Structure formats: C-alpha cells, structure tokens
Structure 1
Amino acid sequence: MNHSAQLGDEKIGTLLWKFSLPAMVGMIVNALYNIIDSIFVGNGVGEVGLTAVTIAFPIMTILMAFGMLIGVGATALISIRLGEKRIDDAERILGNALSLVFLITVLLTPVVLYFLDPILIVIGASENVLPYAHDFTQIILIGNIFMFLSFGLNNLIRAEGNPRLAMFTMLISAGLNTILNPLFIFIFHWGIRGSAYATVLSQFVAAVWVMSYFFGKQSLLKFRRKNFSLNKSIVWGIFSIGLSPFLMQIAASVISLLSNVALLTYGGDLAVAAMGIITRVTMLILMPIFGIQQGVQPIIGYNYGAKNYGRVIEALKKAILAATLVSTGGFLIVQLFDTHIMRIFNGNQELIQFGSQGLRIYLALLPIIGFQIVSANYFQAVGKAKYAILFSTSRQVIILIPLLIILPHFLGVTGIWVASPIADFFASLITGVYLWRELGKLTKMHQPIC
C-alpha cells in the first residue's frame, strides 16, 4: 500500500494530527522510560547511580547524534523523493542508510571503548562515581548497534507515510525497558549494570522490529542488496541534511560536559545529580514537541518536493501553534509543581531544594522553545542544510556554550541555570527573522490551484 500519497492530498490539520500524535506518543513514552530508569536507579542504586548516569549522558548523546546524522538526513531525502515520485531513488537512499549504520558502528564503538575511563574522567566522573559510570556506559556501547538501527532507521518508516508503525517501535522499546529495569535492579540485584542491560535488550527487540518491516511486505520501500553499495552523492546528501541534528546532539554533549564540570566545581556530586533530574524533566516536556517536529517533517518535505507550497506554509504554521501550546503547558507544570517533580526521583531534601530552584530557572522561557524547534526543523525538512545547521545550533553552540563557560565564574551554579533561558531567547529571535523571510518567498512561489 502506498502510504505516501496521503501526504499530498489529505487535509493538513488531519494529516498533522495523524502523523504527529503517534510520534508524540512514542517520544513521550521514550522520555518516560528514561525518567523511570532514573527513578529506579535513584532508588535502587542511590545518588551515586543518578550521578553516574548523568556523567554517562554526553557519551550516549554522541551515539544518538550519529543515529540522527543518518536517520534524519535519509528521512528528509526520502520524503522529498517520494513527493517527486522517484521511488527507486528513495530505495537507494534507504539501502545506503543501512550500510552507513553498520559502517559507523564498526568505526566508532572500539575507539570509545578503548578510551572509556579517560573520557569519563574528563567529563566529570569523580573517583567515587567512575566505577558506576564505567559499568553502565560499557554495556550501552557494546549494544549500540541496536540503538542505531531502532532509533536511526525508525524515522524512515515515518518518512514513507506510516507514523503509527514508527510509534510502535518506540512503544515496544520503552515498554520492555520499563519492565526489565526493576526486574534487573531489584530482583536480580544487578545494580546499575541491570539498567544498562535492560536498555540494550529493549533496543535489540526494537531493531528487529524495524528491520523486519523493511524486509517484509508492509513497507512501500524495500531493502535491496543492490542498494547497499555506498553512493557518494547519496551519502553526501544524507550527511549534509543530517549534519544539523548531528551537530545539535554533539553540542548537547559538549553542554553536558561543561555543565557537569561546572556543577562538580561549584556544587559537587549533588549538583550533578540535580542536573540529571532537570535534564530528564526537560526531555519529557520537549518530546511532544519533537513528536510534532517529526510528524510535520514528511508532510513539509513531500509537499515541497511536489511544489505544493501552500500546503507547506499551512503545515508549518499549524505545527508551530501546536508546539507552542505544548511548551506553554510544560512551563506552567514546572513552575507550579517543581518541588513535587524533584521529590519523585529522590527523597534527599537538599537535592530537592537545590534542584527545584534550578528547574524553575532553567526552563524560564520554555513557552518560546516550541516555535524555535519547529521553525529550525522546517529548513531541514526542505533540504536547506546550511540554514538548518545555523538555526539548530544557534542556541547550543553559538550562544549557550560561551554562556556556560563565562557565567559560572560570576554566578556559580546559578550561572548554569540562567544560561539556558538567555540562549532560548536569542536563538528564537534569530530563527524568527529568517523564517519570516522564508515564508515571504514561499508565499510568492505559491500558485493557488483553481
């Protein structure tokens, strides 16, 4: 069945709901199981476990960056090719994406494993935390091929017009992880290793699910042996578009590193643990927005390829509105229930007080983040790689990293908290100016269909 045809015909509002809701559900569940992991680790291993997982987070972020480099880049290209009715070209992109996943895994994993302890020490692991961080990260690295396959290639299911199946991939992974985590930690007493084993095993099952889809009868696009040979122009196209989210994830890793070092310097292991909780709460709020972003991307890409510019504009505006409503709702929840949120993770009163203050400040300008994320994603969806890189990295690289280096020297831990809303404001301003110009161009190009 050709699921992609609906992208050019169905009402935008209905289509956005149909594509975004499964992505939102999947992303929320994905964030929830990360939070539940932290709750299990915090209560089953203790504060040292929370700190260890927080220290390991930059490495996991880098792994996800490579998954996004391939998955997001290939997704945008496939959406555009489907809009142009070039099915064979879309299948070549799919085959090249799979080959790149295996190639990057073989090149990346041994290097990180060899230098694991020095890397963990550099990113803030204290002598007390290092053994826990090592055990957790080592297992995640050994099984990262399953993360690449499940996370990276799952986007391609959505690209060909099957968002519900893409949602089930994340539900399978999240549901299994939520079951296995308490089993391995509390019943088998495997400690922090148990949490890592649960993550890898759940990603393995999700990877099998994704691969079976493209080798089966249900998919429009198929894995074909002839398409596994890497093509220079296809690889360059995937990397040029995927470079934007890749750099954004790398920047997130650098931010985690800088934050952990500053937090360790000015607040000790307790401050790092607090940031770990704040990061997970932030992820939970942002996941629905990323779901909207993922849902609208194939709609924009397909219609841009088909030159239906009026539908592109409509989809973008409705996605921005939806994302803004979500981010505003998240802001109200954080400001009203900050202490209650922190208490879920750990009962340490000092950690609760310290973290709740940081949470309120860190997400002070959350209502404008939805606009910035969806707007930056538009340029990625239409294949304008240079603009996508600029807007996706403006917050984290151009603005936030310098703030994290400078502000803690004057404000201590508070400097880390306030850096985030400052970066949110200026990144949204820059993105808004360019998006206004882009919408003007699209409006001129749009010819109403009589």
Structure 2
Amino acid sequence: MAKVNSTALGQEPIGKLLIKQSLPASIGILVMSLNILVDTIFVGNWIGPTAIAAINVVLPVSFFIAALGMAIGIGGSSIISRALGANDSSKALKTFGNQITLIIVLCITLVILGLTFIEQLIPAFGGKGEIYAPAEIYYRIVLYGVPILALSMMGNTVIRAEGKPKFAMIAMILPSIVNLIADYFLINVLDLGMAGAAWATTGSYVICFLYVLWFFLSKNSELKLQSAHFRLDLPILKEISSLGFVTLARQAVVSITYLLLNNILYNLGGAASVTVYAIIGRMLMFALFPVLGVTQGFLPIAGYNYGANNPSRVRESINKAILYAGVLALVVFAIIMIFPESIVAIFTTDKTILAETPSAMRWVFAALPIISLQLIGSAYFQAVGKATPALLLTLTRQGFFFIPLILILPKYYGELGVWISFPLADVISTIVTGIFLNKEIRKNLVPKTALPIEE
C-alpha cells in the first residue's frame, strides 16, 4: 500500500479527495454495519427473537463507553488535522499521547462501575421479564472488551486524520470478518448461545486493536510517540474534551433514547415491540453507511484546510460533501421504501414481527434524503474546532426534538407516535442546521480575492 502524506489533504482536488477519503470509510462502515446486521440475523435465527431484544438492551451501555473512545478520538483528531495543516507536529504528537492516556483511565473506571451496577442498569434500559437473563449474559462478557474497542475507535479516527483512510478501512473490516466467523462456530457449531455471541464480539474488538497498534508502530504512521507525549497536558485536554464532548453528548443522548424507547415500546407492546425497534435500529446503522462514510471522509479535509487557512477549499468540501451524501441517501431511501417486507424477513420468521416492522420502518426512514445536511453541517463545526455550535447542532435531533416528541406523541397515537417522531425530528433539526451553516459560510468562509493592482 503506497504511503500517503497528510499534505495531500491540502493539495488534491476536493472532489477526488473526498471520494478517496470517503470510499474507504464507507466500505469500512458498510462491513461493520453488515457485521451488526448478520450478527443480529444469526442471533435471531439461531437463538430467537428475544435474544435480539436482549442485545438491543445492552447496546446503549456498551456503545456509550465505546463512544467515549470515539469522542476522544474525534476531538483529538480535529486538533491533529489542524496541527498537521499548520506544520505543528509537536502538538499533534502531544494530542495523540494524551488521547491514549485519557481513554485508558476513563474506560477502565466506567467498566468497573458498569459491572458493579449491572442489576440496576439492565432493567433501566428495558431488560425486563424474559429479556433480562440473556441480556445479563451478553452484557457481562461484552463489557470486558469495550475499553479495547474504545482504544481502537480512537486510533481509527487518528489514522484518518493522518490522511490514510485505507488503513482505517481495514481496521473496521478485520474485526467484522472475525466476528462473523466466530459467531458461526460459537453459536451454531458449539451452541454457546448468548455467551457465544458475546465472546465473538469481544474477540473481534481484540483483533481490531492489534491491527491499529501495528499501524502506529509501523512506518505507515507519521505519529511516533515517546513517553513524554503520554503525560497529560491541561490545555490539550481541555481542547480534546470540548470537541470530544460533542460526540460523547451525541452518544449519551442516543443511549437515553434507547432507554426511553425500549421502555416506552415494552409498555406499549411488550418484547415484540422492542424487537421491532431493534431490527429498525440495525437497519439505521446499515442504511446510513454511505452518508456516514462521506461525513468521515469530510472531517480531515475540512480540518486540515481550515488549519492551513484555505477557506475556499473548506467551503468547496462542504458543498460537495452535502451533494455526495444527499445523492447516496436518496438511493438508500428508495430501497427502504420499496423493499421493507423483504428486509425484515431476513431477520426473523416471527409473524408478529413480520407484520409490524415494515410500516414502522417506512416512517423511521421517511426523512432520510435530507439528513446529509444535518450530519455534514454539525461535522463541519467539530472539524474546525468550534465546539459550542457543534454541540448544539449535534443535540438538535436527538436531544432537543426527538426526546420530547417520543414522550408526547405516543400518549396520543400509541406506537405510531414513536415512529413518526423520527422523521419529524429529522426535518426540524435539518432546518436549524441549515440556518447555522449558511450563516457560518457567509461570515467565515468567504473565498479569498486577489488585491487590485495599483496603477
């Protein structure tokens, strides 16, 4: 694999660069999403539909701790991209070292707390009745591997910040392949049930970490750490925290929505309704892969060129990222609207789930074609180090609009109120993001013009 220097982020044509950065990210997210989908299919067919609901209950807790790694990764990577753009390698190295130290301390602490309060957390996230026992088995095993996942996710964002998306793609593909193979042997061949599914997932985290570790120890990385770089630096920690808090807040709100939705749906329709949401949630992860890939590819381009004081390239990257992501979202939208019954049939043969899920899925994905503006808009502010607007825009959909909607509408419309809350929140948050982004472009991303020649 040819060695690529980060300076390419400031030199190559934006369209070509965006494709080069986004395609590996999209492939990586696609494989990871397929892994989650197939994992759910295996669990649903080999263990049962209740097992799907059990995994859905555990996800908010494990995802939140893993998101801590992503938060520190994206927050630090924003600094690293801008530092590399400004030729400040010292700050890039200090930032990377501080990211590693911070993740190790925080994640181990959270895992200890997560295991201590297991009996309170699982029921709080909807793991009640028949769902509790399989959820507890899965939770205990997966939680041990979450700090390793957090380190891997942080490392993946730094790899991308260096302008090496192909390596980041491989880091996402490897654990997905391992997980699927391990699922087959541990669940289907050895008949280990939920424990087998959990150990397969944890083992995949370890493989991902080993690959990321190899990358940074090899000649492929520009970031060669020394012991001094791991010493916590307060100004860098503050910058990582302020920018990373955007991602962490997003995942915290996602975890809260999982908690609320699992409980609301369980009260409305029991375990079957929780399973319907679990299947739709997997499809959300999968269907958004091209849009999320463009967003991931956009981040280092915007950050590097902002750090290099090149507003015209930043503005162009925004416009093209929204265009590319929007077209891809429209294609996915069409597939979801036309084939929801066939999609649901892949996960289960349960007649109740097959009857209820397609209609709900259509509602949840109704506003998909416009979501690219919301994602790229909030990602821009994070990429250029503007933590406050990034945080506010990130929280608009899930926090400011979606949570109030799911607390109010189900009282009047039952389960339908839950499903229509999704597109309503998407539309409102996209409008708000568009207003903020347009104002930012007009104010701070005005293309440079040549000075008039004096006669």
Structure 2: how far apart are the matches of 1:287 and 1:229?
36
2:306 is aligned with 1:304: yes
- TM-fit CA distance, 1:350: 1.5
Q: Which residue matches 1:186?
A: 188
* Structure 1 residue ranges without an equivalent (≥5): none
2:341 is aligned with 1:335: no
- From the superposition, tell whether residues 445 and 219 of structure 1 become closer, same or farther in structure 2 (CA, over 3 Å): same
Q: Which residue identity lines up with residue 183 of structure 1 in the other structure?
A: F
Structure 1: how far apart are the matches of 2:445 and 2:279?
43
- TM-fit CA distance, 1:442: 3.3
Structure 2: how far apart are the matches of 1:66 and 1:312?
27
2:350 is aligned with 1:348: yes
Q: Is the 8 A contact 2:65 2:107 kept in 1?
A: no
Correspondence for 2:415 among 406, 413, 416: 413
Q: Which residue matches 1:26?
A: 28
- TM-fit CA distance, 1:221: 0.8
Structure 2: how far apart are the matches of 1:196 and 1:285?
24
Q: Which residue matches 1:79?
A: 81
2:228 is aligned with 1:226: yes
Q: Which residue identity lines up with residue 290 of structure 2 in the other structure?
A: P
Structure 2: how far apart are the matches of 1:238 and 1:5?
23
Structure 2: how far apart are the matches of 1:397 and 1:299?
28
What per-residue deviation string (whole Å, max 9, x for no partner) do you get for residues 175-223 of structure 1? 1111111111000111011111111111101101111211222211112
What per-residue deviation string (whole Å, max 9, x for no partner) do you get for residues 268-294 of structure 1? 100000100000001111122111111
Number of equivalent positions: 450
- TM-fit CA distance, 1:447: 3.7
Where 1:406 maps in the other structure, the secondary structure is: helix
Q: Which residue matches 1:390?
A: 392
- TM-fit CA distance, 1:446: 2.9
Q: Which residue matches 1:46?
A: 48
- TM-fit CA distance, 1:444: 2.9
Where 1:85 maps in the other structure, the secondary structure is: coil
What per-residue deviation string (whole Å, max 9, x for no partner) do you get for residues 227-251 of structure 1? 0011111111111011111111111
Q: Which residue matches 2:316?
A: 314
Where 1:329 maps in the other structure, the secondary structure is: helix
Q: Which residue matches 1:134?
A: 136
Structure 1: how far apart are the matches of 2:448 and 2:304?
15
- TM-fit CA distance, 1:51: 1.0
Correspondence for 2:326 among 320, 324, 333: 324
Q: Which residue matches 2:366?
A: 364
- TM-fit CA distance, 1:66: 0.7
Q: Which residue matches 2:92?
A: 90
Correspondence for 1:236 among 235, 238, 247: 238
2:147 is aligned with 1:116: no
Where 1:299 maps in the other structure, the secondary structure is: helix
Structure 1: how far apart are the matches of 2:249 and 2:129?
30
Q: Is the 8 A contact 1:41 1:195 kept in 2?
A: yes
Structure 1: how far apart are the matches of 2:75 and 2:334?
34
Structure 2: how far apart are the matches of 1:193 and 1:106?
22
- TM-fit CA distance, 1:61: 2.3
Q: Which residue matches 1:168?
A: 170
Q: Stretches of 4+ moved more than 4 A in 1? A: none
What per-residue deviation string (whole Å, max 9, x for no partner) do you get for residues 12-58 of structure 1? 11111110000000011111100111000000110110110111121
Structure 2: how far apart are the matches of 1:251 and 1:262?
16
Structure 1: how far apart are the matches of 2:130 and 2:29?
33
- From the superposition, tell whether residues 15 and 126 of structure 1 become closer, same or farther in structure 2 (CA, over 3 Å): same
Q: Which residue identity lines up with residue 196 of structure 1 in the other structure?
A: A
Correspondence for 2:57 among 55, 58, 61: 55
Structure 1: how far apart are the matches of 2:95 and 2:450?
32
- From the superposition, tell whether residues 83 and 45 of structure 1 become closer, same or farther in structure 2 (CA, over 3 Å): same
Where 1:129 maps in the other structure, the secondary structure is: helix
Q: Which residue identity lines up with residue 37 of structure 1 in the other structure?
A: D
The sequence identity of aligned pairs, in percent, is 35
Q: Which residue identity lines up with residue 403 of structure 1 in the other structure?
A: L
* Structure 2 residue ranges without an equivalent (≥5): none
Q: Is the 8 A contact 1:313 1:442 kept in 2?
A: no
TM superposition score normalised by structure 2 = 0.97
- From the superposition, tell whether residues 449 and 412 of structure 1 become closer, same or farther in structure 2 (CA, over 3 Å): farther
Structure 2: how far apart are the matches of 1:7 and 1:168?
20
What per-residue deviation string (whole Å, max 9, x for no partner) do you get for residues 331-353 of structure 1? 11111001111000001121011
Structure 1: how far apart are the matches of 2:326 and 2:451?
30
What CA RMSD, in Å, does the superposition of the two structures yield over aligned residues? Answer: 1.3
Q: Which residue identity lines up with residue 433 of structure 1 in the other structure?
A: I
Q: Which one is further off, 279-288 or 56-65?
A: 56-65
Q: Which residue matches 2:377?
A: 375
Structure 2: how far apart are the matches of 1:29 and 1:448?
46
Where 2:288 maps in the other structure, the secondary structure is: helix
Where 1:323 maps in the other structure, the secondary structure is: helix
Q: Is the 8 A contact 1:61 1:250 kept in 2?
A: no
Q: Which residue identity lines up with residue 179 of structure 1 in the other structure?
A: I
Q: Is the 8 A contact 1:58 1:252 kept in 2?
A: yes
Q: Which residue matches 2:267?
A: 265
2:420 is aligned with 1:435: no
Structure 1: how far apart are the matches of 2:451 and 2:20?
24
Q: Which residue identity lines up with residue 400 of structure 1 in the other structure?
A: F
Structure 1: how far apart are the matches of 2:223 and 2:148?
21
- TM-fit CA distance, 1:329: 1.1
Structure 1: how far apart are the matches of 2:354 and 2:132?
24
- TM-fit CA distance, 1:2: 6.0
Q: Is the 8 A contact 2:70 2:157 kept in 1?
A: no
What per-residue deviation string (whole Å, max 9, x for no partner) do you get for residues 110-168 of structure 1? 10101112111111112211110011011111111210111121110010111100100
Correspondence for 1:195 among 175, 197, 207: 197
Q: Is the 8 A contact 1:2 1:220 kept in 2?
A: no
- From the superposition, tell whether residues 444 and 136 of structure 1 become closer, same or farther in structure 2 (CA, over 3 Å): same
Where 1:444 maps in the other structure, the secondary structure is: coil
Structure 2: how far apart are the matches of 1:379 and 1:320?
14
Q: Which residue matches 1:148?
A: 150
Structure 2: how far apart are the matches of 1:188 and 1:374?
44
Correspondence for 1:281 among 283, 307, 329: 283
Q: Is the 8 A contact 1:289 1:323 kept in 2?
A: yes
Structure 1: how far apart are the matches of 2:119 and 2:412?
31
Correspondence for 2:446 among 444, 447, 450: 444
Q: Is the 8 A contact 2:67 2:150 kept in 1?
A: no
Q: Which residue identity lines up with residue 234 of structure 1 in the other structure?
A: I
